[in-house]
Amino acid sequence: MKKVKILKLNDNSSLEILRDEVNNRLKDIEKDFGVSMKVGHISYQQLKATFRLDATIASVDVSKIDYEKYCGFFDIPKDSYGKTFISGGTTYKICGINIKARKFPIVAQNLKDNKMYKFNNVDIVKLIK
């Protein structure tokens, strides 16, 4: 007989255990349907917990789709996603856009340490030419 784990739904540590378990079991569904799934935000009350389930098509690069969708607002060419540029002697690769950041909307990855940095769209246009 399988031992049943009893969790309280009104404390963070129990809900984190439950989140990890659900995420582990979702891996089988991901393989079967070709989607990437994970438990997002959890809210709870005394006897009830609500989970947000985020699912995306596994083979789709959401960052690229968002970049191509919104880059026109910042006068940046669509084909600049994934391009590399040099700033301050360091090489960066454009990997996203943050439309809420008016001054520094471009997200780029430092190719040496893999950290993400934000850049001004005007500077990026000059650097990728």
Closest by Cα among 66, 12, 4 to 42: 12
Q: Residues 11, 17, 21, CA angle at the centre, nearest 5°?
A: 140
The Cα 34–Cα 125 span in angstroms is 36
Kindly indicate the confidence band of residue 30, based on its pLDDT and cuts at 50, 70 and 90: confident
Closest by Cα among 65, 66, 61, 80 to 119: 80
pLDDT of residue 94: 96
Q: What is the mean pLDDT of residues 33-58?
A: 86
pTM of the model: 0.58
pLDDT at 1 over 60: no
Q: What are phi and psi of 44, to 5 degrees?
A: -145, 155
Residue 22 tokens, joined: 């659900």
The Cα 9–Cα 31 span in angstroms is 29
**pLDDT (tens digit, 9 = 90+) per residue, 54-100?**
888 877 788 899 999 999 999 999 999 999 999 999 999 999 999 99
Domain boundaries, the chain: 12-57, 62-127
Residue 28 tokens, joined: 């089988």
